[in-house]
Structures are given as structure tokens and as C-alpha cells.
Structure 1
Amino acid sequence: MDLYFLGTGAGMPSKQRNVTSIALNLLDERGTYWLFDCGEGTQQQILHSPVKLGRTEKIFITHLHGDHVYGLPGLLTSRSYLGGDTPLTLYGPKGLKAFVETALEVSGAHLTYTLHIVELTDEGVIFEDESFLVETARLEHRIECFGYRIVEKDQPGKLLNEKLKELGVPPGPLFGKLKQGLTIQLEDGRTLNGEDFLGAPVPGRVVVVLGDTRYCEGAKKLARGADVLVHEATFAMDKQELAYAFDHATSTDAARTAQEAGANALIMTHLSSRYQGDSVTELLHEAQHIHANSYLAKDFWCFDIPRKV
């Protein structure tokens, strides 16, 4: 599992940063990618990345400002051209369905796959299966905006092979059943419960991706105990009043959120184009003063999220 940043700029693209889009690589976990936001030019960014559009399963939109959604119509149609034939689900605020369907209709687009659009009307769990859960909460921005908390469920512990060998259990199908936590009966009549032969469960990972927001309780709620928090940092601390006026966050706001929520790593993105070259390190230093494990994202940068041991 890793995060791949396709665009890390705010408002409009610059020569150094495209507008917002992030890919969560779940190839090892479920053979797919999940995208978060899809600003203009996202499909072009994908061409220069390891992300496979045809294997994208879900797209989560935080809000409907153009720098987060204007890349959707082109990306959805290109997915057809690239052999994407599996269903795709979009999640986002009310209005997403009208935006997408209107763009596809007036352009005469034809999709070769089933497109599901889920408009969010409330906070809470929006997706859950046997391996993942996705929860959302409202943030504080000029228009309705959501953040997403992706929770990987705990994995079963390793099978204690040596313990089984000591009991004379032969490797093979019986090991597989015990690994599933099932109860088996040996030829000599002994009964073994698989739960007794599994190590401690492997904790799942938690990734939180926020949309545009100023410092708020909704962000901290989602970020509690996260392995990784992705938070906007449009401005440096000396632009605090400007950030607040436009419902954006500073690098200090992002770091406060991570620190108070107990998040392990903070990744800052959605950076104003006023920060170029060496000046961008100002944002990083401000955040690290509060939350030491802080990073600045850049386009085509990958952040690995290892399993907990």
C-alpha cells in the first residue's frame, strides 16, 4: 500500500505542480487503485506514473471546486479506451452526478463499463467489505467538502507451524483450515481449534485524505490515530488571516491537526503557487516544529505505508 501524488498544487496548475489528485495503490491488497480528487490534467499525469487507469476501482471526490473535479470527464472516457471494463464507483458531494452526467451527455461520450455515482448526504461509513472500511466526515470549506478515512481491517495472525509440527500435525490441507480459524479433527481423534494456533492479528493501516479545509473538528475526528494524514497546507503561517478568510489551512494548522489527532505521519499538499523553489521549505519547517514526522508532497512522489509488525 502506498500513496502516489499526481497533483499537489492549489487552485490552478503551475509549471512545478498540477492540481489535486492522489492515488492509493491497493494492488497487493485488492488488485486496484483508488483515486482521491481528479483535477484538470490528471489523466495526463497518470501517463507519467505507474498508476493504471484501467485498474482504478473507486474515485473519491472531496468537493466540487474545479481544481478537484475538472479532470473527471476526460479520465472517465479514457478509461474505456484503455480497456477498463470493470465497474467504477464515484463518491462525492451532491451535484457530482449532475456534473458528470451532463459532461458525458453533451460530449456524446460512451463508457464501456458500469459507472456508479454515490452522492454523500451525511457523515459516516460509505463503504465496507471484508478487508476495508471507508468513513467520511464534513470539513469546513466554502462549499460542502468531505474528508475520507480508509481503514484496512486487521489481518489474521501467522499460523504457528512449529507448534503444530510438535503435535504431529502433517502440513497440507489441515494447515489451511487451521489458518482460517476452523476446528479440525485428526485421525487419532484429537480436536484442534485453529484459533489456538494463530499468532497475534496484524493491525490494519489507516489512511486519511482530507479535502480543502481550515482547522476544524471534522478533520481531527477523521485523523485520530491514523498511520498517514494527508492535509492541505495552502499557505504559510504568516498568511493565517488569508487562509481563514478563504477556508484554507496553513502548514501550522495541518501540523496541529496531526499532532492533536495522534496521527503518525503528516503529508501536506494543495500548496499555493506562491511557494516556489526554496520558499516551499518554509511550510515544512513550520509543520515539523509542531509535528516532527511531517512531509511535503510533490508531483510524482510516492509514500510507502508499511504494515505494522
Structure 2
Amino acid sequence: MQLMFLGTSAGRPTRSRNVTSIALSLPEPQCGFWLFDVGEGTQHRMLGSKLKLNKLERIFITHLHGDHIYGLPGLLSSRGYFEGAGPLTIYGPQGLRAYLDSIFNLTGVHLGYELHVVEITEGEIIADDRFVVEAAELQHRLPSFGFRITERPLSGQLNLKRLAELGVPAGPLFGKLKRGEDVTLACGTTVTASDVVGKPHPGRVVTILGDTRPCENAVRLACNADLLVHEATFAGGLEEKAAAYGHSTFTQAAEIARDAGAKRLVVTHFSSRYDDEEVAELANGVKGIFEQIEPAVEMAEINVPRLPLTNS
């Protein structure tokens, strides 16, 4: 799993930063990706990346402020020009469907693929064979959501030596055992999956939050996450200003990561008053609160690796 930051600026673009969008590339064999927010210019940023719109599977909109959604209609329209663009589902706050319907009706857009818009509430919004995605409302000037993406565990590796000792023939029985099913051989011997399959490999957890003041749901969504993405619009010491606009400071983002027990924190959504050097200094300045903090960099990829498999 990898994250690419297609925009890291708050409110408006700058010469070096676009407005908010994050791509989450999924592991093999799917190799698709999800988008979290689609600020103006997102599809232009994608042209300089390996991301292709026909591989886009889902879009998550944290809230309806323009710097998070003004690029959405154009990107959806462009996706129709890509061969193999299948159905697409968008998840976001109430009002998202009316926003898109109004633009598409007024401009006569024909997408050429199925588009599903799901206006979310708090709780589990996706549960498939790969991932569980949970949403919770944060504290901002508009309804704003955060998302916790939990990868389902991978089954352990087969113990080929033990399978040979037990006389299990290669083929469909291997698949059943790997899925955790006990099997009975032609001779009548029952082979239990736990005897020939290693321990499951825990999935990764990535938490991506929309704009927010510090709040309990931010900590809950980020609990023990492998990676937390949290906004840091203002420098520490500007907490009163941040609260007035529904945002957080670098200090507050570090405190959320610490309180949640997250393993790693990437901050983004920087005020245009700070250049890249100042952003780096602000992040370094709160390492006493949370050591594993780093600022997001435009178009940079951040890998979320698996821990090595451990077999029983």
C-alpha cells in the first residue's frame, strides 16, 4: 500500500502546492487505487504520476469545502475517456449527490460508466474481502469525516513439508486448508488447517482525516494505526486561530498521534503562509511530542509496508 499526496495546501493552491487530494494505491493483485478528496487540479497532478483513471475504484470525500471537491466533476468527466473505466463509487457527506447532479445536469455531462454516490453517516461504510472502512464525524465548520481503512489479515503460509508428511496432494485441498478449512483425505485422515498453515498476517491500518479541530473521533479512528494522515494548517501557538476556523496546529496533530498510539504521522493541509522549509521546521519542532512525524510532500509516495510474515 502506498499514499501519494496530489495536493497539500489549505484553502487555495500555491506555486508549489496544489489543494487537497490523496491517492491510496492498493496492493497486488488488484493494483487499483482510491482517492481521498479531489481538490481543483487533481487530475492535472495525476498526469505526472503512474495513476490512471481507469484504475480508480473508489473516491472518499471528507467534506464539501471547495478546496476538497472542486476538482471532482472534471475528474469524473475525464474518466469516461479511459478505456476499461468500470463502475465507480463515491462516498461523502450529505449534499454530495445534489452537488454532482446540479453540475452534470447544467453541463450535459455523459459519463459512460456507472457512478454510485453514497452519502455516509458514522460507522462501517465498506466491508469486502479486502478491506473494512469506517467513517466518523470530526469537528469542522461543515460536516467533515475521517476514514479508517483496515486491511483484512492475510492467511498464513502453507507448511509444504508438513503437507508432504501428511500425504496431502497438491491442488484444491491446498486452497481449502489455506482458507482455514479442515480437509479429509481419501484414506480417511482428517488434516486440520491449523496444523499446516502459519499464523495469519495482520492487515495494515491507514487513517485519513478530513479538516478538523482536535476531537475524540480523531483519536478513535487513529488508534494503533500504521499510518495517520492529519491536517496541520497552523503552527503551534496558533491554537485559538485554528479553532476559530475548525483546524488543527502541528502541535495538536502530534498530540492526536501520540494519544492514539499511531505508529507514524504524516501531516498535510498547510496554510499558504508557510513555505516548504518552514513546514519542515514546524514538523521537526513537535518531534518531542511524537517522534515519527513527517510533512507530506507534493507528489511524494509514502509506503506502508507489511511486517514480515511469521509462521507457526
TM bracket (short chain): over 0.9
Q: Superposed, which structure 2 residues align to 1:276-295 within 5 Å? A: 276-295=275-294
Tell me which amino acid in the other structure corresponds to 2:95. Answer: G
Superposition RMSD in Å: 1.4
Rounded to whole Å, the distance in 2 between the matches of 1:289 and 1:29 is 39
Contact 1:53–1:84 (8 Å) recurs in 2: no
2:84, 2:94 → 1: CA distance? 26
Match for 1:6: what amino acid?
A: L
Give how far 1:288 is off: 1.5
Q: Distance in 2 between matches of 1:228 and 1:183?
A: 36
Normalised by the length of structure 1, the TM-score is 0.96
Tell me which moved more, 10-19 or 277-286: 277-286
* AA at the equivalent of 1:234: T
For 1:234 and 1:277, how far apart are their aligned partners in 2?
A: 13
Q: CA deviation at 1:289?
A: 1.8
In the TM superposition, what are the counterparts of 1:19-38 in structure 2 within 5 Å?
A: 19-28=19-28, 30-38=30-38
Question: How far apart, in 2, do the equivalents of 1:218 and 1:144 lie?
Answer: 13
One-letter amino acid of the counterpart of residue 42, structure 2? T
Number of residue equivalences: 308
1:195 Cα offset (Å): 3.0
Q: Retained in 2: the 8 A contact 1:9–1:17?
A: yes
Between Structure 1 and Structure 2, the one with more helix by share is 1
Tell me what 1:244 maps to: 243
Deviates more, 1:126-135 or 1:34-43: 126-135
Task: Give the whole-Å Cα distance in 1 for the aligned partners of 2:280 and 2:181.
Answer: 54
After TM superposition, give the deviation of residue 200 of structure 1 in Å: 0.7
SS at match of 1:5: strand
| Counterpart for residue 209 of structure 1 | 208
Task: Establish whether residue 258 from structure 1 lines up as the match of residue 265 from structure 2.
Answer: no
**Residues 1-309 of structure 1 aligned to structure 2 (within 5 Å):** 1-28=1-28, 30-120=30-120, 122-309=121-308
Give the counterpart letter for 1:105 in structure 2.
N
Whole-angstrom CA distance in 1 between matches of 2:62 and 2:286: 23
CA contact (8 A) 1:39 1:67 kept: yes
Q: Is the 8 A contact 1:205 1:308 kept in 2?
A: no
- 1:115 is displaced (CA, Å) by 0.5
CA distance in structure 2 between the partners assigned to 1:287 and 1:81 by the alignment: 45
Q: State TM-score, norm by structure 2.
A: 0.95
Question: Matches of 2:261 and 2:236 in 1, distance apart?
Answer: 21
Q: Tell me if structure 2 keeps the 8 A contact 1:254–1:287.
A: no
Moved more, 104-113 or 284-293: 284-293
Kindly report structure 1 stretches of 4+ aligned residues shifted beyond 4 Å.
Answer: none
The CA deviation at 1:189 is 2.7
Aligned equivalents of 1:50, 1:112: Cα separation in 2: 23
Offset from partner CA, 1:26-84 (integer Å, 9 cap, x none): 15153321100000000000101111111101100000000000000100000001225
SS in 1 for 2:297: coil
- Between the aligned partners of 2:83 and 2:244, the Cα distance in structure 1 is 44
Question: How far apart, in 2, do the equivalents of 1:29 and 1:132 lie?
Answer: 14
Q: For structure 2, list consecutive stretches of 5 or more residues without a partner in the other structure.
A: none
Alpha-carbon shift at residue 180 of structure 1 (Å): 2.3
**CA pair 74-228 structure 1, distance change in 2 beyond 3 A:** same
Higher deviation after alignment, 173-182 or 242-251: 173-182
One-letter amino acid of the structure 1 residue matched with residue 183 of structure 2: I
1: distance between equivalents of 2:250 and 2:214? 10
User: For the residues of structure 1 that align with 2:300 and 2:117, how far apart are their CA atoms?
Assistant: 29
Deviation at 1:105?
1.3
**Residue type at the aligned position of 2:141:** R
The question of whether the paired residues in 2 share the 8 Å contact of 1:12 and 1:19 is answered with: yes
Identity across matched positions, percent: 52
Check whether the contact 2:55–2:85 (CA below 8 A) recurs between aligned residues: no
Contact in 1 for aligned 2:53/2:85 (Cα 8 Å)? no
Would the aligned equivalents of 2:37 and 2:61 in 1 still touch at CA under 8 Å?
Answer: yes
Give SS of 2:46's match: helix
Residues 59 and 7 of structure 1, relative CA distance in 2, 3 Å threshold: same
Cα deviation for residue 301 of structure 1 reads 0.7
SS of 2:188 mapped into structure 1: coil
Distance 1:172 1:83 in 2: 36
In structure 2, the CA distance between the partners of 1:46 and 1:99, relative to structure 1 (3 Å rule), is same
TM-superposition CA deviations, 1:250-272 (whole Å, max 9, x none)? 01110000000011000000011
